[in-house]
Amino acid sequence: EAGVTQFPSHSVIEKGQTVTLRCDPISGHDNLYWYRRVMGKEIKFLLHFVKESKQDESGMPNNRFLAERTGGTYSTLKVQPAELEDSGVYFCASSLRGANTEAFFGQGTRLTVV
């Protein structure tokens, strides 16, 4: 069974450009999460989908970030326009029944804004 897949693995963009990160969760997992790790700091929660609905988006930094989950399957996280402080590793995770069960993580997308 395929795990959580994230694309791209790396992205380098210029300040002001737009980047879209994609996450394919494990098939059948209704819960999908986005997290971010800025260099040297802790991994921080961004948002949580249950199927196609946003359950909790309290961690989204600002309105330059837009997350979608089409049809309750894959999810995208768009940053527009990107700023230098958006650099970091973006992780996606999925779980069957919520975060108090095992969350399976993707390998992350390393975003560098220059």
Partner 1 sequence: AQSVTQPDIHITVSEGASLELRCNYSYGATPYLFWYVQSPGQGLQLLLKYFSGDTLVQGIKGFEAEFKRSQSSFNLRKPSVHWSDAAEYFCAVVLINTDKLIFGTGTRLQVFP
**What residues make contact with partner 1 under the rule CB under 8 A?**
3-4, 31, 33, 35, 40-45, 48, 55-56, 59, 91, 93, 98-100, 102-108
Q: Which residue's CB is nearer to partner 1, number 19 or number 94? A: 94
Give the pairing type, strands 65-69 and 10-13.
unpaired
Q: Which residue has the tokens 């700023």?
A: 83
Q: Which residue's CB is nearer to partner 1, number 12 or number 43? A: 43
d(CA 110, CA 15): 15
Amino acid at 62: N
Amino acid at 112: T
CB of 14 to partner 1, least distance (A): 26
CB of 15 to partner 1, least distance (A): 27
